[in-house]
Amino acid sequence: MSKAKIVVGCNYGDEGKGTVAAYHAGLSTSALNVLTNGGAQRGHSIRTLMGDFTFHHFGSGTCFGADNYFSKTFILNPMLFVKEYEDLAKRIKIGPIFRNFDCRWTTPFDQMFNFSIEKARGDKNHGSCGMGIWETVRRHNNGVCMTFDNFMAIPHDLKVSFLKRIRTYFNSCNPYIIQDDLKDAWNSDTLIEHFINDCSFMYQHTQCVLDAIDFKDQYDDVIMENGQGLLLNDDPNNVHTTPSNTGLDDSISILNEMGIKASDTEIDFVTRPYMTRHGRGPFDTEISRSMLSNSVGIDRTNHYNEMQGDFRYGTLDIVDLKHRLDNECLKLPGVRVILNITHCDEMDRVADFMNYFNNIHTFDSPLV
């Protein structure tokens, strides 16, 4: 019977979820790393004796031999998959990669439209990561979609027609929004051909499954690695959130599909001793990095993103954190809960956390 670890960010992301997921994979001899939500906008950076890794379209346990499963609530990005796969294959052995038949998938038109609309907003942009996640979701919701496997099954000329249909859909949304420096690519048949090649690569290097039950009893450990954090959970009234469930919801569905009991499940919440945030969203406790602690230096694992601007810092209210996690745990009662605190060498607050949490695991370094 498989045992499950659900790795959940407590705040606005960048808590160190990749470090925790990789840590668990390193302790396992047979692990499946599940990407549970969001898409390749995640950037989970870890440091190992093999070097540094930043995972977008793969689980962070990949570098320790974990196989990958893209759940039905994970958004595929064939373009980024190809690049990341080829880069990883030069450094480590990549095991089997499974993808759910119902995964939504991003095209270059989703990304370029996202990039252009953010540029047009100027100083009032939403701080998007530029990966076209919202555009992909809205397009699918509006019916301009087909499953990835159905797309791969149709003749080449119909693939081209379908992708042009997506381009027409975005033109109908706003025909004037595409940035001048992107117009040649936007209208290029070469771009479409390149993307079809990327889709073929992804199709050849992954295995389609209909349900997570296909993995029942196949792995000793199932590591569900969430993207983003609880404070970015989908909120239709807040443009600065992400269109996915960042908490336990999607993982619970996978647990049920695989028949993993609560007694065989552990929730691994992850936080730093302080708060961080990307983008332009509200940040009530924001202060300068230097005011947090003299030991908080320039972030060791975060990568600058032009679309989201500078990495932001703030104080963490442990009482608010406890309330947030208690509410989330109501969805899955009776499981073991661990609070993983990363970057503890930058700020010693472990004693403060111990006043509110029973099970604490600390990381003094991003090295796994």
On whether both 354 and 334 belong to a single domain, the answer is yes
Are both 212 and 197 inside the same structural domain? no
For 41-59, what is each residue's pLDDT tens digit? 899 999 999 899 999 999 9
Is there a single domain that holds both residue 221 and residue 337?
yes
What are the 10-residue block averages of pLDDT along the chain, 368 residues in total? 93 94 97 95 91 95 97 97 98 96 97 87 56 94 98 98 97 85 93 98 97 84 96 72 88 92 96 90 90 79 59 95 97 96 92 96 84
pLDDT at 235: 66
Do 95 and 112 fall into the same domain?
no
Phi, psi (degrees; rounded to nearest 5) at 31: -125, 145
Question: Residue 91's domain is classified under what CATH number?
Answer: 3.40.440.10
Of 186, 205, 224, the residue at which a domain comes to its end is 205
Whole-structure pTM value: 0.93
What is the chain's length?
A: 368
Q: Are residues 16 and 75 in the same domain?
A: yes
Return the closest-CA partner of residue 4 out of 228, 261, 327. Answer: 261
CA dihedral 212, 210, 71, 61 (to 10 degrees): 60
Residues 234 and 244 sit within 8 Å (Cβ to Cβ): yes
Same domain assignment for residues 143 and 174: yes
Same domain, 132 and 161: yes
Q: Taking a C-beta distance cutoff of 8 angstroms, is the pair 163, 109 a contact?
A: yes
Q: How many domains does the chain have?
A: 2
Residue 368 placed within a domain: no
Domain ranges, residue 141: 108-205
Residue 12 and residue 131 in one domain: no
Residue identified by tokens 């990005």 is 77
Please indicate, yes or no, if residue 367 is contained in any of the structural domains: no
Residues 226 and 317 in one domain: yes
pLDDT digits (tens, 9 = 90+) for 109-150: 999 999 898 877 655 544 556 789 999 999 999 999 999 999
Looking at the structure, tell me whether residues 79 and 220 fall in a common domain: yes
